[in-house]
């Protein structure tokens, strides 16, 4: 995949704390490397043990370096390696040596990272170092020296690192660091007098208390995507009175009136009332179905959406649009119904395959270009790590996208003011391509192509051509190979069914600049077709 770099003079991202290196510091025996391994698994970031990197660089063990070249040489090399990895291009987790804080230069480097001090009493740390473990450490040969050195270093650790107790099991220490690093405030939107809260639940373990709270005096209907069928016993254990149901089909195929009737019937048979709750966990199609049923049942009961894909988290689960398909046409029967809560849980989202993450990033890129240019640059500058499932970055993209869309939805919940029309950026030609190419072209990839075409049209409205070309490359790197343009006659036929047509006039969204969308209300379809042809020709 080609990564598109920012060019001279281009708008760049604000400094992102979430891309800083996370450095674990602390005295010998604190468990920095072991905690680092668990943290790396949790955050889906690579771990570098700086002592191991130093040994590999020299081809000698640390005791051998001390013996042959002295502590001064070791400290010089430690500083060089710390600087190299702390300021590297890839977000990493670093486990630093116990003496890394001794030098002022090192402390200055650590102050530019997110450092955590793994804290424990020196007597506990000494007891952890025994046998071969102590033999490998030149500065752990005398208990008296060990304790004295700890006293000297303790204030240095505290000056650069956030203290985290290292007394519990390493996996628990790693989880507390992850929760601190991923901490983010909830936000909400109010529509028609009803509050809809978007909660950031950074780790799945943070969701369990919320599930237990649901069990207090209310019934819960759990609608599960078939991909999570194995979680049914867990939901039944946490919610003793829960009804757990999985649709027979996957994805869009589950969004039928027949499936909705089955769900509504099961809810009625189990005597759910309006104080009870429907919890929908799955991708955008399943949260659409869950919202549709929750809005219809007894004219509306409590609804919680737990999107499990990035596309669902940044789009389908935000905004209150619910629907099922009819006669092979998407979203023909639906209603506006805002959830009580939407849970952004990045672990499940980040675990999706790269193609699914790419589809969500297309929607996030679109949202950023509409409302939050820094979000667009965040996607561009960190594309490789996002596609790898870097948890902090995936969460930040999901949160910023959801927040931007929520602000707009709050102003025009039922699409009566035309404010939400801008969300169709990239969708006009995207829907044409999706309909023409069928299953070979997914919705997310189709929107990426549509966004590239919209940027081509936007050149006539003042959009910077160099920036447009760069963003088009980004779109196409997310979409894959650009398929042949839709034949003109077929494109015109498909555009005639576009839901944005009013009184025979087609709406089309362009950008004058990032953050400056404009809705064209009498757009000639041939202009989109010509833009697609020009783009395909330029890329051939």
CATH number of domain containing 112: 3.40.50.300
**Residue in 38, 138, 141, 151 with CA at minimum distance from that of residue 97:** 138
367 lies in the same domain as 459: no
Integer Cα distance of 423 and 55 in angstroms: 53
225 lies in the same domain as 169: no
352 lies in the same domain as 401: yes
Q: What is the pLDDT along the chain (540 residues), one digit of tens a residue?
A: 233 333 333 444 433 577 889 999 999 889 999 999 999 999 999 999 999 999 999 999 988 998 899 989 999 999 999 999 998 888 999 999 999 999 999 999 999 999 999 999 999 998 887 666 655 666 666 788 888 889 999 999 999 999 999 999 999 999 999 999 998 899 999 998 889 999 999 998 889 888 888 878 789 999 999 999 999 999 988 888 899 999 989 888 999 999 999 999 999 999 999 999 999 999 999 999 999 999 999 999 999 999 999 999 999 999 899 999 988 777 889 999 999 999 999 999 999 999 999 999 999 999 999 999 999 999 999 999 999 999 999 999 999 999 999 999 999 999 889 899 999 999 888 888 888 888 888 888 899 999 999 999 999 999 999 999 999 999 988 987 777 788 888 887 877 766 555 545 788 999 999 999 999 988 888 888 899 888 888 876
Q: 28: which DSSP letter?
A: T
**CB 472 within 8 Å of CB 455:** yes
Using alpha carbons, list the distances in angstroms from residue 241 to 211, 220, 271, 338.
12, 7, 11, 25
Q: Which residues pair with 322 in a beta bridge?
A: 335
The Cβ-side half-sphere exposure at 501, using a 13 Å CA radius, reads 13
Determine the structural domain holding residue 345 and report its residue range: 187-411
Token pair listed for 466: 């160099």
Token pair listed for 350: 């980040």
How many Cβ atoms are within 10 Å of 278's Cβ, its own excluded? 27
What DSSP letter does each residue of 518-540 carry, written as one string? EEEEEE-HHHHHHHHHHHHHHH-
260 lies in the same domain as 177: no
The Cβ-side half-sphere exposure at 131, using a 13 Å CA radius, reads 2
Query: Does residue 118 lie in a domain region?
Result: yes
Integer Cα distance of 40 and 18 in angstroms: 14
38 lies in the same domain as 141: yes
29 lies in the same domain as 138: yes
The total domain count for the chain is 3
Kindly report the length of the chain. 540
**Residue in 70, 44, 45 with CA at minimum distance from that of residue 58:** 70
Q: Provide the pLDDT for residue 6.
A: 34
146 lies in the same domain as 203: no
Measured CA angle at 30 (ends 37, 36), to 5 deg: 15
Give the domain-ending residue among 134, 165, 181.
181
Q: Provide the pLDDT for residue 444.
A: 87
Give the domain-ending residue among 389, 411, 433.
411
Query: Does residue 506 lie in a domain region?
Result: yes
| Cβ-proximal residues to 388 (8 Å cutoff; 6+ apart), any chain | 44, 354
Query: Does residue 9 lie in a domain region?
Result: no
Q: Provide the pLDDT for residue 2.
A: 32
Query: Hey, is 88 helix, strand or coil?
Result: coil
Query: Does residue 7 lie in a domain region?
Result: no
Q: Provide the pLDDT for residue 12.
A: 42
Q: Provide the pLDDT for residue 504.
A: 55
CATH number of domain containing 452: 1.20.1090.10
Q: 195: which DSSP letter?
A: E
509 lies in the same domain as 387: no
Query: Does residue 374 lie in a domain region?
Result: yes
CATH number of domain containing 219: 3.40.50.1970
Q: Provide the pLDDT for residue 252.
A: 87
| Cβ-proximal residues to 439 (8 Å cutoff; 6+ apart), any chain | none
260 lies in the same domain as 243: yes
176 lies in the same domain as 191: no
Residue 23 phi, psi (nearest 5): -115, 130
Integer Cα distance of 5 and 351 in angstroms: 26
Query: Does residue 3 lie in a domain region?
Result: no
The secondary element (H helix, E strand) that includes residue 478 is helix 465-479
365 lies in the same domain as 278: yes
Q: Provide the pLDDT for residue 394.
A: 96
303 lies in the same domain as 238: yes
Q: Provide the pLDDT for residue 71.
A: 87
- pLDDT, tens only, 341-396: 999 999 999 999 999 999 999 999 999 999 999 999 999 999 999 999 999 999 99
Query: Does residue 359 lie in a domain region?
Result: yes
Integer Cα distance of 342 and 349 in angstroms: 14
Q: Provide the pLDDT for residue 156.
A: 97
Token pair listed for 353: 């395959």
Give the domain-ending residue among 162, 181, 200.
181
Query: Does residue 420 lie in a domain region?
Result: no
pTM of the model: 0.90
How many Cβ atoms are within 10 Å of 480's Cβ, its own excluded? 15
**CB under 8 A, 24+ apart: contacts of 178-185:** 178/39, 178/42, 178/43, 178/202, 178/203, 178/391, 179/203, 179/206, 180/116, 181/18, 181/22, 181/43, 181/114, 181/392, 182/346, 182/391, 182/392, 182/395, 184/395, 184/399
């Amino acid at each position: 995949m080609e990564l598109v770099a920012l060019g001279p003079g281009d708008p760049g991202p604000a400094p992102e704390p979430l891309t800083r290196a996370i450095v674990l510091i602390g005295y010998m025996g604190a468990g920095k490397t072991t905690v680092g391994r668990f943290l790396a698994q949790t955050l889906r970031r690579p771990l570098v043990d700086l002592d191991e990197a130093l040994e590999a660089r020299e081809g000698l063990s640390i005791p051998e370096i001390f013996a042959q070249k002295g502590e001064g040489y070791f400290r010089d090399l430690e500083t060089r390696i710390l600087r190299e990895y702390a300021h590297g291009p890839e977000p990493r987790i670093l486990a630093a040596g116990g003496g890394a804080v001794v030098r002022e230069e090192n402390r200055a480097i650590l102050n530019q990272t997110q450092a955590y001090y793994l804290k424990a009493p020196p007597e506990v740390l000494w007891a952890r170092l025994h046998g071969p473990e102590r033999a490998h450490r030149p500065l752990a040969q005398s208990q008296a020296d060990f304790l004295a050195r700890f006293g000297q270093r303790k204030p240095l650790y505290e000056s650069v690192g956030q203290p985290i107790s290292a007394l519990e099991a390493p996996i628990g220490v790693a989880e507390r660091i992850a929760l601190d690093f991923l901490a983010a405030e909830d936000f909400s939107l109010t529509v028609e007098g009803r509050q809809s809260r978007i909660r950031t639940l950074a780790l799945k373990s943070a969701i369990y208390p919320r599930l237990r709270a649901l069990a207090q005096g209310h019934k819960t209907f759990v609608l599960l995507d078939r991909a999570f069928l194995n979680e049914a016993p867990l939901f039944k254990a946490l919610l003793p009175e829960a009804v757990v149901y999985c649709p027979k089909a996957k994805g869009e195929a589950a969004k039928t009136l027949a499936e909705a009737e089955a769900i509504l019937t099961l809810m009625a048979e189990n005597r759910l009332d309006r104080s009870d709750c429907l919890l929908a966990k799955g991708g955008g199609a399943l949260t659409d179905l869950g919202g549709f049923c929750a809005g219809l049942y007894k004219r509306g009961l409590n609804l919680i959406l737990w999107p499990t894909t990035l596309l669902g988290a940044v789009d389908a689960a935000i905004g209150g649009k619910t629907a099922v398909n009819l006669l092979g046409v998407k979203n023909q029967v639906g209603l506006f119904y805002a959830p009580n809560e939407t849970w952004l849980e990045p672990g499940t989202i980040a675990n999706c395959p790269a193609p699914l993450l790419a589809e969500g990033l297309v929607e996030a890129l679109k949202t950023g270009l509409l409302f939050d240019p820094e979000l667009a640059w965040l996607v561009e500058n960190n594309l490789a790590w996002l596609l790898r499932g870097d948890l902090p970055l995936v969460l930040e993209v999901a949160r910023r996208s959801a927040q931007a869309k929520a602000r707009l939805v709050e102003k025009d919940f039922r699409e009566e003011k035309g404010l939400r029309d801008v969300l169709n950026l990239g969708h006009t030609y995207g829907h044409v391509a999706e309909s023409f190419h069928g299953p070979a072209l997914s919705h997310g990839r189709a929107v990426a192509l549509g966004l590239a075409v919209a940027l081509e049209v936007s050149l006539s409205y003042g959009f910077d051509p160099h920036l447009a070309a760069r963003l088009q490359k980004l779109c196409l790197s997310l979409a894959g190979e650009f398929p042949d343009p839709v034949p003109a006659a077929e494109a015109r036929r498909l555009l005639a069914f576009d839901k944005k047509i009013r009184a025979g006039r087609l709406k089309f969204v362009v950008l004058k600049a990032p953050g400056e969308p404009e809705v064209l209300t009498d757009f000639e379809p041939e202009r989109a077709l010509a833009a697609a042809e020009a783009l395909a020709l330029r890329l051939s």
